[in-house]
Chain A
């Protein structure tokens, strides 16, 4: 166990399960939220070492969630990875402007996801 916890925010239930499988196998504790609003609530309840956020979600999209997290002094230093199916540079820029720390294009390989999570949580060398 790394003892690090990660919040996964994605409206796809299968995708969430996939992230959970991969991240738990890598020793992380994983919490889930199904949209931006839920994600923000969840982030306020617990301390997370990393957030993994889907861009395209109902209620509050990923960009907006990132922005709101960055606006909250209690949350703003949590690293955030945004994940999207869009490969366009402008989508990546939009995420970085909102304050995301990394923009990754789906589909994400399991080993890559685990490695990214380890690096960003300082969970392992």
Chain B
């Protein structure tokens, strides 16, 4: 299968899995949500359809089993309980893992079949008990018992096992496979193929011709034909044989077709049989299947297993062991035991033979639904079946009084198919009859003519020459004709969505970034023009051009930012599942309310938000939410609520995680912080309650007495703070004891372009992110005081500690004897700090590239940016540096 198709399938599958999972969770909350069940069902259904295109049978089977279960839920035959949701979610997870594997290796993992079998088994087990008795409503295409005689050739043990499967809702398929004699030359291995049949339960092999002596044997001419029974789904079996479909016949068989007695008839009347028969009839009368099985087992122990009586007893046991035993079958088998005759399974409860879907010459009213049975080369058979289908369409239209609406297309089809296949006279009469049908709304004459086609040994014999005058045209009406169509072609009104590979957007983003940087070289050029080449005018023209390019670059940047914007639902979507699973694990009852999931932010931000949010939410579930009993005792509803809310505020996106749990006790936090040496006792006391609560974000802090397996994992909430702050965000926490906790994360909407101020230190330029700079001041030397052994100065009544960046960076200072120091006042973690630099330079937009390779671990720098003059600017990460 083409890679392009697979590449298209993988994102589609992921989308479908995501919407099924979120739909399931909604459904669990409100089982009556018809939209949700339809959505889930459709997603799974579409996934099944698409996956069928690939050689991923295990995946298709699993999805199919899930679909069956969902189908029952949809038709309200089954309650959707949490266990069922668990099971379905697990299956979707498995499928999702397979999709990942498919993406990497273009095939399923080697254990897929085994995993699939187990998972499908679990799903099918859930499917079985609620199912209607299999015999009361056999699917339409089931073969009646008599038609496939070779089933009796299969080993009885195999048939018994398949019967048991059938009773539990697995349809039994009979496959007759006669490989072409030359198949080995096509690289085929028929036996290998047969071994892959899902649910292969019985195999019988016959020869085309008796085996010749070895001297005459041609080992490369296939002389075998395979007959097998399987309990797999028909679509999968068909899929397996798709390349040899003209060599295979697949029929679904009714379970009772499997009941055939083996062994020799009993030589004489068996002693206790009459007693058994009487007891068994009584059990059957009471529908006491357990007692019937006991009686059966007792007689079976006394009976020679080689006799047909023993076989009848084994079948009787199998019939009574079914989830919904068929009383008629049981009765017939009891009589077979009693009389020694073959069982009369009775045509009464075997459905009369239904029209088989795929016959090539359908009887009237038969629906040739399955186009697959046409041998690949047999276009003529396909054509015949299409023509036959038109009869069906017409007959239905006649019954529904829709002839006028439907006959046009039928006439089109016939006009395209019949010429060359039926004689000209008949074609003409059919065309005429179609026109009559369209005018009169009566398809009778047309149906009659098509009937003659069906058993036409000679279509022209009944040549009546009367042709009804054509009053109405059956060719397409010129309503939507070419002139209108031409203009509209490819210009569809509805917005067209493109799915674009993220890497392409990133490339575009980088290119625009380069453009921004190149653009920044123009002011340098203008300066050179003025100072070196002495042309003011040229400098001004360059600046004018710069202004234009600057505006365009900004607009481009804005536009690509929009493309990169993702809704927070990308992150939020995983929380319903997470909350549900954790809550169940911890036996807490939690309702997750998600708000504002449409709020959008740059993809980098959205992607980076995932882990911190996960941590905060886990923490809330683990520590914040009380167990139901404790909540009840506190007079709260047992069901706790966690609100996950996103909103946009100016240039920030704010994410709030609010729970109504027990809140954070500042006293406990203080005590824990002191005990763990996070702060000293005096400092802890000096903190306000809200400040004390913030201590939970300090490294080394964790309030849980024991490390929980949920939020513990050796990382504290400090990771949240570092991650968020690294991206230019802020975290705030508020809590009221007994009422709950709110963690608020504010992130910039975009971080693709960073505005930095360039400063000189030791003759080198460094970038400082603009968002932490409060102001730039020049401080006269005499105003710099030493406070607590550290240099500081007072700025508008605030003491600002001073830091010599040259010393921190370990480089020399260019000008040590200036009268005033250049000080950059920054705010880090809320506190001001003054950075002494050699000189301020311009502010600029840069595209920040994180260090990679050997430099990746370098601390104190958030990355590099390329300057317009080709220099590389190191951008400082002050939070780490200080």
Q: Which residues of B contact A120 (CB under 8 A)?
A: 386, 413, 416-417
Q: Which residues of A contact B480 (CB under 8 A)?
A: 43-47, 74-75
B397 within 8 A of A: yes
Residue ID in chain A nearest B406 by CB atoms: A99
Q: Which residues of B contact A74 (CB under 8 A)?
A: 476-480
The answer for the CA separation of A70 and B407 in the assembled complex, in Å, is 9
Q: Which residues of A contact B705 (CB under 8 A)?
A: none
The answer for the CA separation of A109 and B370 in the assembled complex, in Å, is 12
A111 and B376 in contact, given A14-B5, A99-B405 (Cβ under 8 angstroms): yes
Which residues of chain A in 76-99 are interfacial with respect to chain B, using CB atoms and an 8 Å cutoff?
76-80, 85, 87-93, 96-97, 99
The answer for the CA separation of A71 and B408 in the assembled complex, in Å, is 11
Interchain CB contact under 8 A, A106 and B52: yes
Q: Which residues of A contact B411 (CB under 8 A)?
A: 77
Which of B5, B242, B412 has the most chain A CB atoms inside 10 A of its CB? Answer: B412
Q: C-beta contact mask, B485-499 vs A, less than 8 Å → 1, else 0?
A: 100110011100000
Which residues of chain B in 410-426 are interfacial with respect to chain A, using CB atoms and an 8 Å cutoff?
410-413, 415-417, 420
Which residues of chain A in 9-64 are interfacial with respect to chain B, using CB atoms and an 8 Å cutoff?
10-15, 17-18, 21, 38, 41-47, 54, 56-58
B474 within 8 A of A: yes
Interchain CB contact under 8 A, B409 and A103: no
Identify which of B53, B242, B357, B402 contacts A89 (C-beta below 8 A): B357
A103 and B396 in contact, given A14-B50, A45-B480, A77-B408 (Cβ under 8 angstroms): no
Interchain CB contact under 8 A, B383 and A119: yes
Interchain CB contact under 8 A, A77 and B477: yes
B170 within 8 A of A: no
The answer for the CA separation of A92 and B141 in the assembled complex, in Å, is 12
Interchain CB contact under 8 A, B8 and A13: yes
The answer for the CA separation of A18 and B9 in the assembled complex, in Å, is 10
Query: B62 to chain A: closest CB distance in Å?
Result: 15
Query: B214 to chain A: closest CB distance in Å?
Result: 39
A56 and B45 in contact, given A70-B406, A77-B408, A99-B406 (Cβ under 8 angstroms): yes
Q: Which residues of A contact B53 (CB under 8 A)?
A: 14-15, 18, 107
The answer for the CA separation of A41 and B494 in the assembled complex, in Å, is 10
Interchain CB contact under 8 A, A77 and B493: no
Q: Which residues of B contact A46 (CB under 8 A)?
A: 480, 485, 488-489
A125 within 8 A of B: yes
Q: Which residues of A contact B13 (CB under 8 A)?
A: 14
B709 within 8 A of A: no
Identify which of A17, A42, A80, A91 contacts B8 (C-beta below 8 A): A17
Q: Which residues of A contact B369 (CB under 8 A)?
A: 87, 89, 91-92, 103-105
Interchain CB contact under 8 A, A76 and B409: yes
Residue ID in chain B nearest A111 by CB atoms: B376
Q: Which residues of B contact A41 (CB under 8 A)?
A: 492-494
B552 within 8 A of A: no
Query: A23 to chain B: closest CB distance in Å?
Result: 14
B140 within 8 A of A: yes
Q: Which residues of B contact A99 (CB under 8 A)?
A: 393, 397, 402, 405-406, 409
Interchain CB contact under 8 A, B12 and A77: no
Q: Which residues of B contact A115 (CB under 8 A)?
A: 374, 379, 382
Identify which of B393, B416, B479 contacts A100 (C-beta below 8 A): B393
A73 and B235 in contact, given A42-B492, A119-B386 (Cβ under 8 angstroms): no
Q: Which residues of B contact A56 (CB under 8 A)?
A: 42, 45-46
Residue ID in chain B nearest A11 by CB atoms: B46
A2 within 8 A of B: no
Identify which of B48, B370, B412 contacts A85 (C-beta below 8 A): B48
B688 within 8 A of A: no
Which of B367, B400, B485 has the most chain A CB atoms inside 10 A of its CB? Answer: B367
Q: Which residues of A contact B234 (CB under 8 A)?
A: 87
Which residues of chain B in 469-518 are interfacial with respect to chain A, using CB atoms and an 8 Å cutoff?
474-482, 484-485, 488-489, 492-494
Interchain CB contact under 8 A, B354 and A107: no
A14 and B371 in contact, given A46-B480, A78-B409, A99-B393 (Cβ under 8 angstroms): no
B390 within 8 A of A: yes
The answer for the CA separation of A91 and B140 in the assembled complex, in Å, is 11
Q: C-beta contact mask, B353-368 vs A, less than 8 Å → 1, else 0?
A: 0110100000000010
Q: How many A-B residue pairs have CB under 8 A?
A: 204
Q: C-beta contact mask, B379-390 vs A, less than 8 Å → 1, else 0?
A: 100110010011
Count, chain A residues at interface, CB 8 A? 63
Q: C-beta contact mask, B555-575 vs A, less than 8 Å → 1, else 0?
A: 000000000000000000000
Query: B68 to chain A: closest CB distance in Å?
Result: 11
Interchain CB contact under 8 A, B374 and A112: yes
Interchain CB contact under 8 A, A121 and B416: yes
Residue ID in chain B nearest A101 by CB atoms: B413
Interchain CB contact under 8 A, A104 and B371: yes
Residue ID in chain A nearest B242 by CB atoms: A109
B698 within 8 A of A: no
The answer for the CA separation of A108 and B242 in the assembled complex, in Å, is 9
Query: A25 to chain B: closest CB distance in Å?
Result: 11
Interchain CB contact under 8 A, B416 and A119: yes
Q: Which residues of A contact B372 (CB under 8 A)?
A: 104-105, 108-109, 112
Interchain CB contact under 8 A, A45 and B408: no
Identify which of A21, A75, A79 contacts B413 (C-beta below 8 A): A79
B392 within 8 A of A: yes
Identify which of A13, A17, A42, A96 contacts B367 (C-beta below 8 A): A96
Query: A32 to chain B: closest CB distance in Å?
Result: 10
Interchain CB contact under 8 A, A106 and B49: yes
Identify which of B140, B235, B393, B410 contacts A90 (C-beta below 8 A): B140
Interchain CB contact under 8 A, B402 and A102: no
The answer for the CA separation of A69 and B326 in the assembled complex, in Å, is 46
Q: C-beta contact mask, B89-116 vs A, less than 8 Å → 1, else 0?
A: 0000000000000000000000000000
Identify which of A77, A79, A118 contacts B474 (C-beta below 8 A): A77
The answer for the CA separation of A17 and B583 in the assembled complex, in Å, is 42
Interchain CB contact under 8 A, B409 and A77: yes
Identify which of B46, B382, B474 contacts A119 (C-beta below 8 A): B382
The answer for the CA separation of A93 and B369 in the assembled complex, in Å, is 9
A96 and B392 in contact, given A77-B477, A102-B371 (Cβ under 8 angstroms): yes
Residue ID in chain A nearest B411 by CB atoms: A77
Interchain CB contact under 8 A, A70 and B245: no
The answer for the CA separation of A70 and B489 in the assembled complex, in Å, is 22
Interchain CB contact under 8 A, B405 and A71: yes
Q: C-beta contact mask, B242-253 vs A, less than 8 Å → 1, else 0?
A: 100100000000
Q: Which residues of A contact B405 (CB under 8 A)?
A: 70-71, 76, 99
The answer for the CA separation of A7 and B389 in the assembled complex, in Å, is 21
Interchain CB contact under 8 A, B5 and A101: no
Residue ID in chain B nearest A100 by CB atoms: B393
B239 within 8 A of A: yes
B129 within 8 A of A: no
Interchain CB contact under 8 A, B479 and A109: no
A73 and B5 in contact, given A46-B488, A87-B141 (Cβ under 8 angstroms): no
The answer for the CA separation of A99 and B394 in the assembled complex, in Å, is 8
Q: Which residues of A contact B50 (CB under 8 A)?
A: 12-15
Q: Which residues of B contact A103 (CB under 8 A)?
A: 367, 369, 389
Q: Which residues of A contact B476 (CB under 8 A)?
A: 47, 74, 77-78
The answer for the CA separation of A108 and B408 in the assembled complex, in Å, is 26
B301 within 8 A of A: no
Interchain CB contact under 8 A, A112 and B382: yes
B466 within 8 A of A: no
The answer for the CA separation of A93 and B46 in the assembled complex, in Å, is 22
The answer for the CA separation of A119 and B48 in the assembled complex, in Å, is 28
B534 within 8 A of A: no
Subset of 7 A-B contacts with CB under 8 Å: A74-B479, A85-B49, A87-B235, A92-B367, A99-B405, A109-B372, A122-B416
Q: Please list the 7 inter-chain residue pairs (A to B) with the smallest Cβ-Cβ separation, ordered nearest first.
A: A74-B479, A77-B408, A122-B416, A92-B369, A107-B52, A14-B9, A14-B50
In the complex, besides A85-B235, A106-B49, 19 extra interface pairs with C-beta distance below 8 angstroms are: A12-B12, A12-B50, A18-B53, A58-B42, A74-B476, A74-B477, A75-B479, A79-B413, A89-B357, A92-B357, A104-B369, A104-B371, A105-B369, A107-B235, A107-B239, A109-B242, A111-B376, A120-B417, A122-B416
